[in-house]
A and B are shown apart, each in its own frame.
Chain A
Amino acid sequence: MLSIPISRQYLSINSRFIIGSHRSFSSSQSFRNVSTLVFLEHKAGKINSATLSALNLAKSLGGGITGIIVGSSKSSEMNEAIEKAKKLPISKLLVKEDDNLEHVLAEPFAPLIANVTKERSFTHLVGGTTSVTKNIFPRVAALLDVQQISDVMKVIDQETFMRPIYAGNALCTLKSKDSIKVITVRCASFEPITDTSEGEVEIEKLESIQAGQIISNWSSETLTKSERPELGSANRIVSGGRGVKNKENFDSILIPLSDKLNSAIGASRAAVDSGFADNSLQVGQTGKVVSPDLYIAVGISGAIQHLAGMKDSKTIVAINKDPEAPIFQVADVGLVADLFEAVPELTKKI
């Protein structure tokens, strides 16, 4: 009786995955069907791009994909987000509305997500790498007693993944022995999915599984308002560093170029620390990791920390007056010039 479904599963799993050299189905858990829960992150009624990247990774695992969307019914934005979620390529949507879930705090969110994952026997829990999942997922993983796999950049098979270490200067391929894989997805490595399904998504309101208690109290938030494309998902980025010298220059030199290119604006840590730009614009190991089609680095030397955040960009342009700056080693197009002359000229001529 047992051998038939197992061999069927074996075949179906096998055909879906890229077969790595270390692949093995010897442990019993490998025979389990893959069943993935994707944490659908939303803000202002929209599902964020990181989630769409996470869905792309989830697809590559094979198996069914269920989405979970969480928030407070008090806000109309939650309803908008649910409508958007229904159009995603998922087979089922779990909805949890609770006033304790109005603000995204780890204490109420983590037990909920951990319990859903466990009770519904999901094999994988997946979310995009954002400040939200970086906050919540480790707490979820601890509650599930599993070792989280952060910032996955490649799926080898359902239990084998590649992730960057040492600021992206080494790539580590690991096999997770945990029965549940808790994964955050390196957004720069997975295209956000664009196909939206028109099929029926089954919706289930979670009643029996409760959110955790609120422990911390949310007071306020201050968001940087911008008409520009969002840094994490922009196709083009113009980024400034210490060489721009001050905030006035940062605005007067970078903004016109950015406007012309319809790009997002980024900054190196030096520029952020010197107050030229808001810290939410920081690109690097400790800020955002981006991979736009075009990255223009202006007055940025190219410290390891910064390169970790942008070296997967398709085309990199560097404008810097120091010909020895490390940024030139990764730039496809390097111009050794005074940025105060070159950037306005570039803006004019594009």
Chain B
Amino acid sequence: MRPSLIHQIRVLVPIKRTIDYAVKIRVNSAKTGVETNGVKHSMNPFDEIAVEEAIRLKEKLGEKIESITLLTITSNKKGGQEVLRTGLAMGADSGILIEWPSTKPDCDPEPLSVSKTIQKVIQKLGEKKPDLIICGKQSIDDDSSQVGGMLSGLLNCSLAQYISSIEFDANQMSSAKVSREIDGGIEELKVPLPAVVTTDLRLNEPRYASLPNIMKAKKKSIITYTTEELGIDTNNRFEILKVEEPPKRKGGLKVENVDEVIHKLKEVGAL
């Protein structure tokens, strides 16, 4: 078979604004969600890895990567712009912000709605549609780990989840070689484009944006769409009945030496 035509690829990276991973969360008093007011938010860590990987591909493959577009869906427009600017300062080219109605404050879009929204945006991009979509493997708030998989189903394209490496042959940009983390080890796949991949922690270590890049990022374009413009059903499929704190463990007992450890374990029947 003759090698496919060499061409440039476009990368799309969906990112989410979440409560910062280091924050100890609190359930709100109405027990409908967690307290988000006045709580530090940042880009979902797995999405940072996705942005970093897109930029590394561009650094490695140069003009073979035509563009890196970030996309975020949020009911907090200002917050959404902030995470987009963070990604743009890391080195992405442009951003797309989708305004989610803020009438239902504790109802963030669910993974299915997020996937459908991304699909709609891709349709809107037409000729400029992405060839490679890099998603974080899960958001650290909802922990669903669904968007990448769902999106690949809606687009009927190839899928490689939980990747720890991705490589392109610069002479043949039509497919990528990836390693994915599976229970018990690693699996290698060749995924033809268009493809959705999701990032695992070990893929890379995201960079910090430098001050000049932060300044430059302010000039990069962010396009905003509303859900009406895209024709998206914003109704959720879940009704959240209750959010509560997990039962506390009665830990905290300290012993003096190894003999007491063994004694305690025998007492509770663990040895």
Question: Which A residues lie at the B interface, using CB under 8 A?
Answer: 22, 43, 105-107, 110, 130-132, 134-143, 145-151, 160, 164-178, 215-224, 232, 269, 272-273, 278-280, 285-286, 288, 293-294, 304-305, 311, 314-317, 319, 323, 328-337, 342, 345-346, 349-350
Contact = CB atoms under 8 A, between A and B. Distances in A.
A346 B244 CA distance: 38
Given A22-B241, A135-B159, A335-B258, A150 B144 contact: yes
B185 interface: yes
A350 B159 contact: no
A134 B187 contact: no
A307 B154 CA distance: 35
A329 B34 CA distance: 22
B246 A169 contact: yes
Nearest to B113: A147
B146 A148 contact: yes
A14 B106 CA distance: 31
B2 interface: no
A310 B162 CA distance: 21
Given A220-B188, A331-B251, A167 B153 contact: no
A323 B254 CA distance: 9
B192 A328 contact: no
A170 B242 contact: no
A219 B144 contact: no
A219 B176 CA distance: 12
B149 interface: yes
A218 B268 contact: no
A216 B189 contact: yes
B40 interface: no
B143 A167 contact: yes
B105 interface: no
Given A177-B237, A332-B251, A334-B252, A285 B190 contact: no
B141 A147 contact: no
A113 B182 CA distance: 20
B141 A166 contact: yes
Contacts of A280: 181, 183-185
16 contacts: A107-B152, A134-B145, A134-B161, A137-B149, A138-B148, A139-B149, A143-B153, A145-B112, A147-B110, A150-B145, A165-B142, A178-B237, A222-B186, A317-B261, A332-B253, A333-B253
B183 A315 contact: no
Contact of A173 (B146, B184, B242): B242
Contacts of A217: 189-191
A286 B162 CA distance: 10
Contacts of B158: 107, 215-216
A75 B101 CA distance: 51
Contacts of A170: 25, 27, 34, 243-246
A125 B112 CA distance: 17
Contact of A345 (B144, B238, B258): B258
B57 interface: no
B120 to A, nearest CB: 14
B239 interface: yes
A62 B263 CA distance: 43
Contacts of A135: 149, 159, 161-162
A338 B73 CA distance: 48
B252 A331 contact: yes
Q: Which 10 A-B pairs have the closest CB atoms?
A: A138-B149, A142-B153, A147-B237, A142-B150, A139-B153, A223-B185, A138-B146, A219-B188, A330-B251, A215-B158
A231 B90 CA distance: 37
Given A164-B246, A173-B242, A224 B185 contact: yes
A122 to B, nearest CB: 17
B104 interface: no
Contacts of A333: 253, 255, 261, 264-265
Contact of B25 (A107, A142, A166): A166
Contacts of A165: 34, 141-143, 243
Contacts of A222: 185-187
A249 B178 CA distance: 32
Contacts of B112: 141-142, 145-148
B111 interface: yes
Contacts of B44: none
A232 B255 CA distance: 29
A104 to B, nearest CB: 9
A174 B143 CA distance: 15
B143 A151 contact: yes
Contact of B241 (A107, A143, A175, A288): A175
B115 interface: yes
A217 B159 CA distance: 10
B149 A150 contact: no
A30 to B, nearest CB: 13
